[in-house]
Amino acid sequence: MGKVVTLPSGTNIPSMGLGTWHMGERIRDPKTERNALLHGLDLGANLIDTAEMYARGGAERVVGDAVKGRRDDVFIVSKVLPHNASFNGTIRACENSLQRMEIENIDIYLLHWPGSHPLEGTIAAFEKLRLDGKIRYWGVSNFDINDMQELYKLPAGKNCQINQVLYNLSRRGIEWDLLPWCQSMRLPIMAYSPLEQGRLLNDQRLEDISKEAGVSVAELSIAWTMRFQDVVSIPKASSLKHVEQNINAWNVSLPNSILSALDKAFEPPMGKKGLDVL
């Protein structure tokens, strides 16, 4: 296993995970997707990120298939959709996710993005699910700094364990205020789409810098997201080859000269921007 990230609870999780966005869709091959996840688990990346939204539960079914017989070795993250995130709706959504994955509990259950249901009800449901043993921890996704500050004002708000957001070389807005705020609270970030859904792989600037660094563009881009000790990166695990490349990035340490070159090619934010989402 490569580097780990420590949650506020004190639990260590891998800083590299396996993403499942777009898995489980009808046009895709669930066996190939399951095998990609299994390969990642065999290589030590034992965190899998999924959501009820992905392929309307199809991705969770693929995850369930992949973890059969090895559930205790896997850290599973899933998410409830905002329109389901009333108190009762959250309980029901979690039970549906558990049923699709054929597991007894979810390791971290996230609110997928802020919605119209009051946060108090969602968090009350998270706390009940936690006490009932259906989830171990809970967190949020796509929460900007004002959302996080609102969350932390609530009685159980500081039980939040992670914030999953879009973060990659072309989407650096969180570095202005959200990332420093989370770091000050010792709240880890989970970076989704570290390759910008593959678009960064064709960037000539990255091609040049990756040659200088002696790694692939994928390894360079993913390793960059993990240069801080409190960021988990979850590239999609779509094929055996991609999984291997992604996991190779886990132990890549980028020298300051490469980090400086990346800063010149992809400038850090110069002011506050709205939170990027995909």
Please state the pTM of the whole predicted model: 0.96
Q: Identity (one letter) of the amino acid at 45?
A: A
User: What is d(CA 268, CA 101) in angstroms, rounded to the nearest whole number?
Assistant: 39
Tokens of 221: 């881009």
pLDDT in tens, 136-173: 999 999 999 999 999 999 999 999 999 999 999 999 99
pLDDT tens column, 163-203:
999 999 999 999 999 999 999 999 999 999 999 999 999 99
Nearest residue to 171 (alpha-carbon basis) of 259, 253, 277: 277
Between 198 and 261, whose confidence is greater? Answer: 261
Confidence check: pLDDT of 260 > 70: yes
Q: With contact defined as beta carbons under 8 Å apart, do 83 and 115 qualify?
A: yes
- 78's CB contacts (< 8 A; 6+ apart) are 49, 50, 51, 52, 60, 97, 101, 106, 108, 109, 110
Rounded distance between C-alpha atoms, residue 163 and residue 182, angstroms: 8
* pLDDT reported for residue 1: 64
- 39: Cα separation from own chain's centroid: 19
- Domains of the chain plus CATH, in order, are 13-265 (3.20.20.100)
Per-residue pLDDT tens over the stretch 225-237? 999 999 999 999 7
Q: Which residues pair with 189 in a beta bridge?
A: 163, 231
Question: Which of the four pLDDT bands, split at 50, 70 and 90, describes residue 66?
Answer: very high
Banded model confidence at residue 264, pLDDT cuts 50, 70, 90:
very high
Contact 59, 24 (CB under 8 A): yes
CA end-to-end span of the chain, whole Å? 29
Name beta bridge partners: 6: 12
Residue 93: band (very low, low, confident or very high) from pLDDT cuts 50, 70, 90: very high
* Two tokens, residue 112: 């997928």
More confident residue, 239 or 222: 222
Report how far residue 223's alpha carbon sits from residue 207's, in angstroms, rounded to the nearest whole number.
15
